[in-house]
Structure 1
Amino acid sequence: MRIDEAGMRKRVPCLALAMLFALVGGANAEDGARTAASSEATRGSNPAVEQRLREELRALVAELVESGAFGDRSAQEISLAIDAPAQRVSNLGLLVDSAHAADDGLHVLAVTPGGSAERMGLRAGDVLLALNGTRLAGVAGAAAILRRSVDELPNGSPLVFEARRDGRTQTFSGKLSSVELPAMHLSIGGGAKPAASTGSPAAVPPIAAAQGCGRLSDFDVAPRQQQLHAAKILSIDGAVPGPGGSKSYEVPAGHHVLKIAERIESRYLAFNDRLRNSGPDSRHKTLEVDVEPNTTLFVAARLDDAKRNEWRDGAYWEPVVWRTSPESCD
C-alpha cells in the first residue's frame, strides 16, 4: 500500500490530467485530435493554466498513439468521453507492507523523497504502531485503517505517528496535505468508440459487486530518479484487459497474476535493442499482486542499476507495484 503525494504541489495542472487518466483509463489520438471543453468548465479559468493543460494533453495523447494503444485505428475512428467526479486527494508519500500482516505494526517499505512522511522524519524500516491514537499494531486490516483514517481528515489536520525504530518507540508529527481536484470531462475524437480488446484469451470478466473491487493501472507517472520506468499490463489472470487503450483496469479484490512488459527507454540501457529483444519473453515477466477493495495499484518496470549490462533473460529489470492509492470502486 502506498499513500503518496509525489510532486503534488509542483505539478497540480499535470496531476489533474494524470489523475483523470489513472482513474478511468487512458485515451489517445493524433496531434490533430479534437479536445472539447465547455464554456462552463473554462469560465473564470487562468488562460495560462488552460494553455498548459492543452499542451500537456496534446503531448500525452501523441505519446499514447505512438505506443500503439489504439492499434491501427485512424484518428477519425477514435472517440472517447471520460468523466471523473470532484475529489480530494490526500497523500503521505508512505509505502507500507499491506501484503503481509504483522502483529508488531505496519512496516514502512519506502517514503517519497520530499513527501510529508519524509518531512515528519519517517523512513524505510520504521514500524508504525499508531496514528493519532488509533492503533495499527496487532489489529486486522491495519493498512486499510491507516488509509481510512487519513481520508477522513480535513486538509491541514495534525498527524501524529507512533513508530518503533531500532527497538525504541518514537513520535513523528506533521500536518496532512491534500489537494481538491475538480470534476472533469474530457472528449477526444469523433468516431466510433473503441470496443474491448479482442482475441484469445477473452477479456477480463465483469466485476462482481459482492466481492468488492479495485483497479490495476500502468499509467506512467513513475519517478525515473527511483529507477522506475514505464510498463504495460499485457494480461490479468491470463485474460487480455480491456477496453483497448485503457491505462486502468477494474478487477475483483483479491489475488491476481499479471503479465507485464517493460517499456524502458533505450537511453537508460547499456545495450542495444537487438540484444534486448533476443531472448524469449525477456521483456515480459509475471507479477503476483493482492488488490484490496477500493484501491488502485500502479505498476512499473524497475531498472536494476547493478544489472544494467545483463540483457539475458531480462535480468536488468523487474515488474513492481510502486504506488498504491485509495480510490472508490463501485
Structure 2
Amino acid sequence: MNTSAKFLALAIGSALMASSVQASTQEDDARQLARAAAVEAAKASGKEDKVSYEEPARSYFNWGGIVRPDGKIVSVRDGSVAASMGVQPGDELLKVNGNPVSGNSLKEMLAPFDNLQHGDSFTVTVGRDGTEHQFSGEAKATVIPGWRLEVDVAMEEQQVGTTEGEGCGRISVFFTPPVTRDYYPAFIDSVDGETVRVQNPNLVVSAGEHTIGVHELIEDPSVRRRKSLATEKEFQLTVEPDTTYYIAAHFIREKRFDRVNQGYWEPIVWKVTEQECTVE
C-alpha cells in the first residue's frame, strides 16, 4: 500500500474509533469520514476491483483525571474512575501504586496508567492541602470493536441526460444518512422520467431543475408496507453547478400506519456539499 493509502487508512481507523466513544450524531459524521477516506485510499492503492481494511478489537483505560505536566489535576470527569476514587480538581498526582510519578513529559507521567488492564486494582497518592492522601480504584477498560471495511474501487459515476454548456452537479445516495434523525437510505429510481434505478453512488446531472423519483429503504419494525402499492415518490430539485445533493428517505413516525398513500415517508435532501463537477 502506498503512502497516500496508508495515511487514509489511518483516517478510517481514527474516524471509527471516534464513532465508538462520541454521541450518536458524531458517530454518523465519523462513519461518513471513514467511508470517504476508504474510497480515496482504495483508489490510491492500485487497480484492484476491491480493497479491504480491518482492525482487531482494542481496549484502553481512561482514568478520568486531566493532569498538567507539573502533576496538578485540573479536572475530574463525572462518573470516571478518578471521581469514584475521591480524587478532586486541585490535587497533585504524586504516586501510582506507590511509585512516584515523574518524567520530562505528560506522557511519561501518565505512563503507569497505560500498563493497567481491565479489572486491575491500583492506588494513587495525591497531595492535598499540604498532606498526602491515598485512594484505591479498579481499572475499567473501554472496548473499541474490531472492524472490516471493503471498498468497491470499480464503482463509477453515471451521467443522466446532457450537461453540455450548462455546468453539472450530482445527486447521490452514497453516504448512509443519520438514522438518529429518522433519515434512512433510499435509492434513486428515475430522473426527469428516465429510469435509472441506482442504489449506490452518484448521478451526474445538468445544473437546473430536475424531477427525482425515489424509493425508500426504511428498516424499522413499525413499518408495514403494502408492497403491491409501493411506488416511487417524486420531488423537485434545483441543482447548482459543482454541488452534490445527498438523498434519503425521511421516516414520519406519526404517519407510520398510512400505507396506501405512503404517508409514512418522504424523499429529502439531507446533506449538500460543494464538489467540482466536470463531464468527460
| TM-score relative to the length of structure 1 | 0.41
Q: TM-score, normalised by structure 2?
A: 0.47
- Which structure has the bigger radius of gyration? 2
Which structure has the highest strand share of the two? 2
Tell which has more relative contact order, 1 or 2 (C-alpha 8 A, sep 6+): 1
